Amino acid sequence: MDGDRAAPPSSTAVGLCLLPSELIHEILLRLSLPDLVLLRAVSRTLSSFLASSDFRRLYSPASSGPCLFVLTKRFPRDAFLRAFHAASSRWLCLPSALLPSAADPYLLAASGDHLLFASNSRRELLALNLSSRSITTLPDPPLGPRRTSSWRRSGLKLISDDSHFRFLFAELVGDRPFLFEYSSTTGTWRSSEAVNSLQPTRGGVWFNLVQFGNESVILRAGPSDEDHPVILRPRLSAALIPRQGEEALRVYGGDGKMAVVRSTALGMGVRVVTGVEVWGVALAPAGGGEWEMVAAVPEEVLERIRRPFGVMMGCMEEETENEGVIMRLRIVLVSNLEGSWDITWLGRDGSGRWVWVPVPGPDSRSKGFFNMAGIALSSCFSGLSLL
């Protein structure tokens, strides 16, 4: 019978628009961000409600928060950009028109509503502003154009505010550590050679450059673009060295911390995670110090993520207080086994409690064979940029 059929979305939207505006606002405020994105596409009237300043002011706290961006490809020009919105535990599929066309993009970094891509075919850097839905091509960096494989994830950082961003990366040039910084405010690059520091401090952005024996070389950029970069050489603890039959994946967060993901072999080309630890640099005068373990994922949480994998990559982000105390920490691991992808999200709050955040698989377009073309975490993503 007709009365038993579900009303199409367009009919539901029309009926909703007939309600008093105060009630419409109350209903919309209770919906998740993915639901609002769908409503925006089916009704101009509802779209105007979502664009109103009153609604955005009230909904902003619910829409803002950590978000995982994932770029997948079947072919160089067949790319899909998705965002896992942690607050709603749902995936958002961003319009393909937002992606740089015919650029063979790779996702490098995210901050707020800004995403940074490297074009493998054009050897360019492309910045996407989700709020304005605009793409900016950055001028060539001082080291010249480069392919995607030349960008080291542990040596770059994107920092943004509402409308502008800074992109920083560190490199060894002739064994000399340099910081390169692009500012969207000026549209120009600048470079600075790092110097030794007698009294290193916390804060700012930390880039892992290289490891020599039991010593790592880290470049620290200050919180202000006026601060001169300094070099640190913390020693690697013996506990960081993988044990026999063990491998250790290091995921750097850019804030003086790294996650160490330990695994052992289950068979030919198959491994399983046995431990996840967080290490930080204990500072010492003259840029010395050493890496020390500050936290470890408890066994009951590890049991939730012990799945076989063939290859794995990850990203890490943290929020800290002025004294370097971890307030929130997120680790995302993306693994593949025989063409099947799996995403693991681990979180730790200021009290030291670890949680495993279930991440459902993306929509059906991700099924079958595809390439992972970059992952990035944004702790201050505003979902309002999609409305």
Q: What is the pLDDT of residues 282-295, one digit of tens each?
A: 877 666 788 999 99
The reply to whether 78 and 181 lie within a common domain is yes
On whether both 148 and 41 belong to a single domain, the answer is no
User: Are 47 and 60 part of one and the same domain?
Assistant: no
Residues 92 and 46 in one domain: no
Do 222 and 166 contact (CB within 8 A), yes or no? no
Q: What per-residue confidence (pLDDT) applies to 117?
A: 93
Task: Give 177's strand partners.
Answer: 172
- Residue 99 lies inside a defined structural domain of this protein: yes
Residues 23 and 168 in one domain: no
The gap from C-alpha 219 to its chain's centroid, in whole angstroms, comes to 21
Q: 288 with 334, same domain? A: yes
What is the number of domains present in the chain?
A: 2
Judgement on whether residues 43 and 85 belong to the same structural domain of the protein? no
CA atoms lying within 13 Å on the CB side of residue 132? 11
Query: What is the Cα–Cα distance from 50 to 30, expressed in whole angstroms?
Result: 13
Residue 345 located in a structural domain: yes
Q: What is the pLDDT of residues 264-276, one digit of tens each?
A: 999 899 999 999 9
Residues 39 and 61 in one domain: no
Query: How many residues in the chain?
Result: 387
Residue 27, domain extent: 8-51
CA distances to 106, 334, 367 from 270, rounded to whole Å, are: 26, 15, 21
Give all strands (DSSP E) within 222-269, no chain letters: 230-232, 246-252, 257-267
d(CA 106, CA 76): 10
Paired residues of 344 in beta bridges? 333
Q: Which residues contact 121 (CB under 8 A, 6 or more apart)?
A: 76, 102, 103, 104
Q: How many CB atoms lie under 10 A from the CB of residue 379? A: 17
**Backbone region of residue 203 per phi and psi (left: phi > 0; alpha: psi in -120 to 50; beta: other values):** left
What's the pLDDT band for 162 if we cut at 50, 70, 90?
confident
Q: Where is the domain boundary, 35, 51, 67?
A: 51
Residue 3 lies in a domain: no
Kindly state whether residue 2 falls inside one of the protein's structural domains: no
134 and 24 part of one domain:
no
Give the CATH number, domain containing residue 110.
2.120.10
Question: Is residue 61 located within the same domain as residue 33?
Answer: no
d(CA 326, CA 346): 14
Which carries the bigger pLDDT value, residue 98 or residue 218?
A: 218
For 25-47, the pLDDT digits (tens) are: 778 878 877 888 877 777 777 77
pTM: 0.84
**Per the domain annotation, does 1 fall within a domain?**
no
Same-domain status, 94 and 225: yes
Question: What tens digit of pLDDT does each residue of 43-92 get?
Answer: 777 778 787 877 777 777 666 778 899 988 876 567 888 889 887 888 88
The verdict on 157 and 267 lying in the same domain is yes
Model confidence over 102-112: pLDDT tens digits? Answer: 678 899 999 98
pLDDT of residue 178: 94
Q: Let me know if residue 117 belongs to a domain.
A: yes
**Quick check: is 182 in a domain?**
yes
Q: Which residues contact 65 (CB under 8 A, 6 or more apart)?
A: 85, 86, 87, 379, 380, 381
Q: Is residue 80 part of a domain?
A: yes
**Residue 310 phi, psi dihedral angles, 5° rounding:** -100, -50
Q: What residues contact residue 330 under an 8 Å CB cut-off, 6+ apart?
A: 66, 316, 317, 318, 345, 346, 347, 348, 377, 379
